[in-house]
Copies of this chain bind each other. A is one copy, B any other.
Amino acid sequence: MNIRPVGDTVSERLPELSVLRRCWPEYADVGSTHQVEVAGVRFGGPRCVVVAGPCAVESRDQALGVGRAVCAAGGQLLRGGAYKPRTNPHSFQGLGLEGLKILSEVRQLTGLGIVTEVLDPRLVEQVAGYADMLQIGSRSMQNFPLLTEVGRTSVPVLLKRGWSATLEEWLCAAEYIAKEGNRNIVLCERGLRASGHWSYARSVLDLNVLEPLRRATPLPVIVDPSHCTGRWTLVAGLSRAAVAAGVDGLLIEVVESESARSQLRSDREQGVPPQVLAEIVGATRAAEATVGRRP
């Protein structure tokens, strides 16, 4: 009896998409990954990439403080929001262009490449002028005009999965970017909404998707334990789990310090303190050394 891996059957039922292995001959081998390089850091290479930073850029001092902490902890890229998709329109919406300029300065001072979200197709060019990688958030996974616009740039894209999106919908969203000529896409799993977890976490990290995803596409996959949980105390355990499952990277929110936490204007409970980030990086490197990147 021949039980075929589910990723193969999922892939076959999908329409022709240029992000699928079966339509991308270079990556027909399921062990191969389309490496995506961002500011000298490679997703899908031998190391698990740790992207870390504040939820939102709130000031030059805060961003630089967190950036230096990320550097010191061993993070490889800096994440930080200049344009923030906030549920409530009356909440802080990010510093916008001012935030991008701050990120640019932090890049100069720390050497960390910048990953930042773009929400509006009209701002893709602006954000792409500052970012090393454009982030598409969960709420925007099926914002097709936005996907098309980032597909027209040559900047690498981080595409988060929607919180109730199927694998098929997610890959089709990636195709909106790829069909414009940009296949430098890193996929980011951030958890599904289910029914039993609301008292302790925002969603449930779907590690089951990794194997079918890898069989279907050569694009690298990372996870975001911070937004998945919404609680920093759950982030380290989930990060270790994701690394052991063989992800190509982690996206982690960091606060500068416990005292800085109370000043934050968004998602205060979510960022890990720098020492926890350092532990996560340490555990990631230890796991790579002993069991290899994709055991």
Contacts and interface: CB of A to CB of B under 8 A. Distances in A.
A13 B88 CA distance: 13
B208 A244 contact: no
Interface stretch (A41-49, A54-62, A72-80, A231-239): A231-239
A175 B144 contact: no
Contact of A192 (B204, B232, B286): B204
Contacts of A198: 166, 198
A122 interface: yes
Contact of A121 (B89, B121, B168, B291): B121
A243 interface: yes
B7 A200 contact: yes
A119 B205 CA distance: 29
A237 B233 contact: no
A163 B209 CA distance: 18
Contacts of A7: 200, 233
A287 interface: yes
Nearest to A168: B199
A108 interface: no
A176 interface: yes
Number of copies: 4
Given A145-B120, A200-B209, A208-B234, A163 B166 contact: no
A164 interface: yes
Contacts of A209: 197, 200-201
Contact of A169 (B5, B87, B172): B87
A1 B256 CA distance: 13
Which of A165, A169, A195, A269: most chain B Cβ within 10 A?
Answer: A195
B237 A207 contact: yes
Given A144-B119, A211-B234, A244-B243, A87 B172 contact: yes
Interface string A1-16: 1010111001001011
Nearest to A163: B164
A152 interface: no
Contacts of A233: 3, 5-7, 211
B207 A197 contact: no
A258 interface: yes
Given A164-B163, A238-B208, A90 B200 contact: no
A175 B90 contact: yes
B244 A87 contact: no
Contacts of A283: 291, 295
Which of A89, A228, A237, A258: most chain B Cβ within 10 A?
Answer: A89
Nearest to A86: B144
A1 B260 CA distance: 8
Closest 5 CB pairs between A and B? A1-B262, A244-B244, A194-B194, A193-B195, A120-B145
